Structure 1
Amino acid sequence: MSETDSFIEEVSDEVRRDKLFGFFKKYLWVFIALVIFIVGGAAVNEYLKAKKETDAQIVGEALLAAQTAADAGAFAAIAADGGAPAILAKLDQAAVLAFDGQAGAAATILDGISADAEVLPLYRDLALLKTVMVNGQNMSAADLDSAFAGLTSEGAPFRLLAIEQRAIVNLRNGDTAATLSDLGEILADSNATQDLRNRAQELTISLGGEIVTPQSGG
């Protein structure tokens, strides 16, 4: 290699080094920001995780305290903060109000839950079932039929409990045959819990009905 070629190569290397240095100098803040973002993001995630756990513990303790005191006002305060615990707090608040004889106020809360499309279907169904239990005697026949149509449909999470409530409504209306039919449906279902089965058997016997044997594979 000639001296000229060597000189040109050295100059080219120097130019490349200058350009590379200039590039890093120009965009160094980008790399620093990226590192901060990655490290900081991990730290933020850890903080949020810890905060969620702490918040969940605080809310859980508040719910337990409200349940121990059967304090509808405390449940209302928890519900006002929103978030996932709000639904549980509202359900508990409605239960306390119903126990205190305030069926109308309880039904208002439960109706709000069951009509809220943002609430999980499981909680909507539970709220609707509780509405029937708490305020069924004040509901119209059409509203009851509509509620039971959904609650007792195949695959509904509280199907058997809803059938039990339908049996109670039928009994209240003096329809013994419909009551026994509902009770028989419960007794024939192998998924019925023992407590539910015992209640159905006792009411069936008291009405002079026949005890149905559970179907296998139900």
Structure 2
Amino acid sequence: MASQPPSNEAFLREVDDELRRDQLAGFWKRWGIAVAIAVLVGLVAFGGWLWWQHEQTKKNDVLGEQMTQILTDLEAGKEQGAEARLKPLLESGNPGYRSTARFTIAGLKLRKNDIAGAAADFKAVADDAEAPKPFRDLALVRQTATEYDSLKPEVIIARLQPLAQKGNPWFGSAGEMVAVAHMKMNKPDLAGPLFAEISKDKGVPETIRSRAVQMAGVLGVDAVDQSTGEGK
């Protein structure tokens, strides 16, 4: 029986498949090496990133152990050489450990009554754009508290006003300093309500709230939470 010639559709399919194979072979002949190199470079880069991550983790682990040991020694009263031991953390690329080390050094300076030195260290943390915001805010509060007596009331208010807002974690500390600054400027109409707000904020430490109740009362502002009938 004579074989049937392929239909036009079958013939075109065979030609199309052959063309695809030729194109694929041509592509790999022309670009195969480049593709292989690109894949290799990608794998090397990925491996390098993994290695870098591993090395960073190792370095951070070491820094963490050093910081923990230094703090443990300081709690035990072993301050000798503490600042020198903290220097590697100050020079590290980790902003968290760097800030913690700077806070620790500032605390050591305060124990020695080095007000200017401690304030400078707190300012260094507050001005460190890489430091976590909670660290920077705390540093600004500590810096202001450290040099409070030497600052003009206007400076205190301008510096701490953003933190002296209800709902801010530092509302109690920053708000109290701002309120006292208002009093120094003879503005009881601003100080009293602020003390009252502080006294009613349950997120503020009890010691600050108690002082705020007293100060609000002195300034003639009601600092009693009407829902409980107690000063807050």
TM-score past 0.5 threshold: yes
Shift of 1:65: 2.2
Go from structure 1 to structure 2 and tell me whether the alpha carbon gap of 1:205 and 1:154 turns closer, same or farther (over 3 Å shift): closer
Q: Give the aligned residue type for 1:31.
A: V
Q: Is the 8 A contact 2:175 2:198 kept in 1?
A: yes
Q: Contact 1:190/1:214 (CA < 8 Å) preserved in 2?
A: no
Q: Where does residue 150 of structure 2 map in the other structure?
A: 138
Are 2:155 and 1:115 equivalent residues in the alignment?
Answer: no
Q: Quick one: structure 1 residues 215 and 37, their matched pair in 2 at CA, closer, same or farther if it must change by over 3 Å?
A: farther
SS in structure 1 of the partner of residue 147 of structure 2? helix
State how far apart, in whole Å, the 2-side matches of 1:182 and 1:20 are. Answer: 76
What is the identity percentage for the equivalent residue pairs of Structure 1 and Structure 2? Answer: 19
Deviation at 1:75, TM superposition (A): 2.7
Residue in 2 that maps onto 1:212 = 223
Which residue is equivalent to 1:65? 69
Q: 1:214 to 1:108 in 2, by over 3 A?
A: same
Q: Counterpart of 1:122 in structure 2: which amino acid? A: P
Q: Distance in 2 between matches of 1:60 and 1:53?
A: 10
| Correspondence list, 1:40-119, <5 A | 40-70=44-74, 71-85=82-96, 86-117=98-129, 119=131
- Check 1:48–1:100 CA distance in 2 against 1; reply closer, same or farther (3 A cut): same
Taking a change above 3 Å as real, the CA distance of residues 17 and 132 of structure 1, as seen in their structure-2 partners, is: closer
What secondary structure sits across from 2:203 in the alignment? coil
Q: How many angstroms does 1:152 deviate by?
A: 0.7
User: Residues 17 and 149 from structure 1, CA distance in 2 versus in 1: closer, same or farther, beyond 3 angstroms?
Assistant: closer
Gaps of 5+ in 1: 2-8
1:149-168 residue pairs with structure 2 within 5 A?
149-166=161-178
C-alpha separation between the residues in 2 aligned to 1:169 and 1:140?
Answer: 8
8 Å Cα contact 1:151/1:162 also seen in 2: yes
Question: Which runs of 5 or more structure 2 residues have no equivalent in the other structure?
Answer: 6-13, 75-81, 228-232
Q: 1:201 aligns to what?
A: 210
Deviation at 1:129, TM superposition (A): 0.2
Over 3 Å counting, the alpha-carbon distance change for 1:43 and 1:113 in structure 2 is same
Shift in Å, 1:41? 3.5
TM-score by length of 2: 0.66
| Shift in alpha-carbon separation, 1:203–1:154, aligned structure 2, 3 A | closer
Is the 8 Å Cα contact of residues 190 and 215 (structure 1) preserved in structure 2? no
Q: Deviation at 1:199? A: 4.4
Aligned equivalent of 1:128:
140
TM-score scaled by length of structure 1:
0.69
- Are the equivalent residues in 1 in contact too, given 2:106–2:121 (CA < 8 A)? yes
The one-letter code sitting in structure 2 at the alignment partner of 1:128 is L
Taking structure 1 as reference, are residues 117 and 202 closer, same or farther at Cα in structure 2, changes over 3 Å only? closer
Q: Quote how far apart the aligned CAs of 1:155 are.
A: 4.7
Please give the root-mean-square deviation of Cα atoms over the aligned residues, in Å. 4.1
More moved, 99-108 vs 118-127:
118-127
Q: Give the CA deviation at 1:104.
A: 0.8
2:153–2:181 contact (8 Å) kept in structure 1: no
The one-letter amino acid of 2:63's match is: V
**Whole-Å separation in 2 of the counterparts to 1:23 and 1:139:** 74
